[in-house]
């Protein structure tokens, strides 16, 4: 068993080593291969995602990724390494679960999974500007092929996890050729799964209901951009970004990464919550290595620690445990 570990920038360099320690505790035979990506790497070498990193990642098959800092202004030669990595590895499905965790900031009854298409939409990076820089244009790409495969992923997940409903989230009323296509193809594929209920919501309405009544959602199937936004939103009901895991899945590869970013506001202080990465690693164990008993153990250890009130500072907004101390507790819990 091999795992490519990419810490990335900011708190990635703190929370990923913590999660690796937890993984080692339950999978001592795991071979760890480190690789580099991110803004720091770009500053150093002019390359945010070196070809060598992609080679190592593909060869390992499984990747644990922290986060990369990406500026919100154009930088020649730079584009988001995680978006590029997902595309290079063809991890076309991004599973982002939010379930109730025993912290005061979480909402009881919430248990949803955002299934986010991961390879197209506005994230293909096809952006142009006029000479004056006064008009920007981005291409939104939706294809039948990508929509079919992400829809199959969503419905198969519904079947294997005993879930009832898949909600297609889109903005087909304004974008009939792109989101309208996504909606149409998703409904077509849904016919293969008559035991699962299918419904739909426009993305703005979905946002409203996700805030007001998050427990009404089960599986949320959506194109790339809406999935990105809605999964951060849902994370608030799971107890916060520090607790929100995600897994990018392809046919033969997987990249586990938290929903959160590099959190420059708290980076370097050793106080970031490693739970999101630990739970992302557990998703890798469950869905990629197909070891549900071990994944359950990790989830249970996190639950036990949080139930006791062992928190990092993000949970209550006051002094909390350090990243390392929290990882120690999880490792001890795992025996």
Residue 295 CB, shortest distance to ligand NAI, in Å, is: 20
Residue 191 CB, shortest distance to ligand NAI, in Å, is: 34
How far apart (Å, rounded) are the C-alpha atoms in residues 126 and 128? 7
Of 191, 265, 290, 317, which one interacts with ligand NAI (CB under 6 A)?
265
The answer to the question of residue 114 lying near ligand NAI (CB under 6 A) is no
The answer to the question of residue 25 lying near ligand NAI (CB under 6 A) is no
The answer to the question of residue 223 lying near ligand NAI (CB under 6 A) is no
How far apart (Å, rounded) are the C-alpha atoms in residues 1 and 27? 9
Extract the runs of DSSP E, i.e. beta strands, from the chain: 2-8, 31-34, 62-67, 93-99, 111-117, 127-129, 136-138, 165-170, 197-202, 219-222, 247-249, 254-256
- Sole residue written with tokens 């959506």: 222
Give the nearer residue to ligand NAI in terms of CB position, either 106 or 186.
Answer: 106
Estimate the crossing angle of helix 275-283 against helix 292-307, to 10 degrees. 160
51, with CB counted inside 10 A (0-12, 13-18, 19+), is: exposed
* Catalytic residue IDs: 123, 171, 204, 228, 232
Of 314, 327, 330, 333, which one interacts with ligand NAI (CB under 6 A)?
314
Residues 56-95, one symbol each (x = binds ligand NAI by CB under 6 A, - = not), give: -----------xxxx-----------x-------------
Residue 229 CB, shortest distance to Mg ion, in Å, is: 7
The answer to the question of residue 273 lying near ligand NAI (CB under 6 A) is yes
Estimate the crossing angle of helix 275-283 against helix 323-334, to 10 degrees. 40
Give the nearer residue to ligand NAI in terms of CB position, either 260 or 286.
Answer: 260
Token pair listed for 98: 């939010």
Site for Mg ion, rule CB under 5 A: 228
Are the C-beta atoms of 85 and 25 separated by less than 8 Å? no
> Which residues in this chain contact ligand NAI in the complex, by CB under 6 A?
11, 15, 67-70, 82, 241-242, 257, 260-266, 272-273, 276, 314
């Amino acid at each position: 068993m091999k795992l490519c570990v990419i810490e990335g920038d900011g708190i990635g360099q703190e929370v990923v080593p913590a999660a690796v320690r937890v993984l080692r505790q339950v999978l001592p035979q795991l071979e760890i291969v480190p690789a580099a990506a991110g803004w720091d790497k770009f500053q150093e070498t002019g390359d945010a995602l070196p070809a060598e990193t992609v080679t190592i990642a593909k060869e390992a098959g499984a990747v644990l990724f922290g986060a990369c800092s990406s500026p919100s202004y154009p930088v020649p030669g730079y584009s988001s390494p995680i978006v590029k990595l997902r595309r290079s590895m063809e991890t076309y499905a991004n599973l982002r679960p939010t379930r109730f965790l025993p912290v005061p900031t979480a909402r009881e009854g919430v248990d949803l999974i955002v299934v986010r298409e991961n390879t197209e939409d506005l994230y293909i990076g096809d952006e142009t500007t006029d000479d004056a820089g006064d008009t920007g244009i981005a291409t939104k790409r939706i294809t039948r092929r990508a929509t079919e495969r992400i829809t199959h992923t969503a419905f198969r997940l519904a079947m294997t996890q005993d879930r009832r409903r898949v909600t297609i989230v889109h903005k087909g009323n304004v974008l009939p050729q792109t989101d309208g296509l996504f909606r149409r193809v998703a409904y077509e594929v849904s016919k293969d799964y008559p035991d699962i209920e299918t419904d739909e919501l426009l993305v703005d309405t979905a946002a409203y209901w996700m805030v007001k009544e998050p427990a009404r959602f089960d599986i949320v199937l959506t194109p790339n951009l809406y999935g990105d936004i809605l999964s951060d939103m849902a994370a608030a009901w799971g107890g916060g970004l520090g607790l929100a895991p995600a897994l990018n899945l392809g046919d033969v590869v997987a990249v586990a990464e938290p929903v959160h970013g590099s959190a420059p506001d708290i980076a370097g202080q050793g106080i970031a919550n490693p739970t999101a990465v630990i739970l992302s690693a557990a998703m890798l164990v469950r869905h990629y290595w197909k070891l549900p008993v071990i994944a359950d153990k990790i989830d249970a250890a996190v639950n036990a620690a949080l139930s006791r009130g062992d928190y990092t500072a993000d949970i209550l907004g006051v002094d909390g445990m350090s990243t390392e101390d929290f990882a120690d507790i999880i490792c001890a819990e795992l025996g």
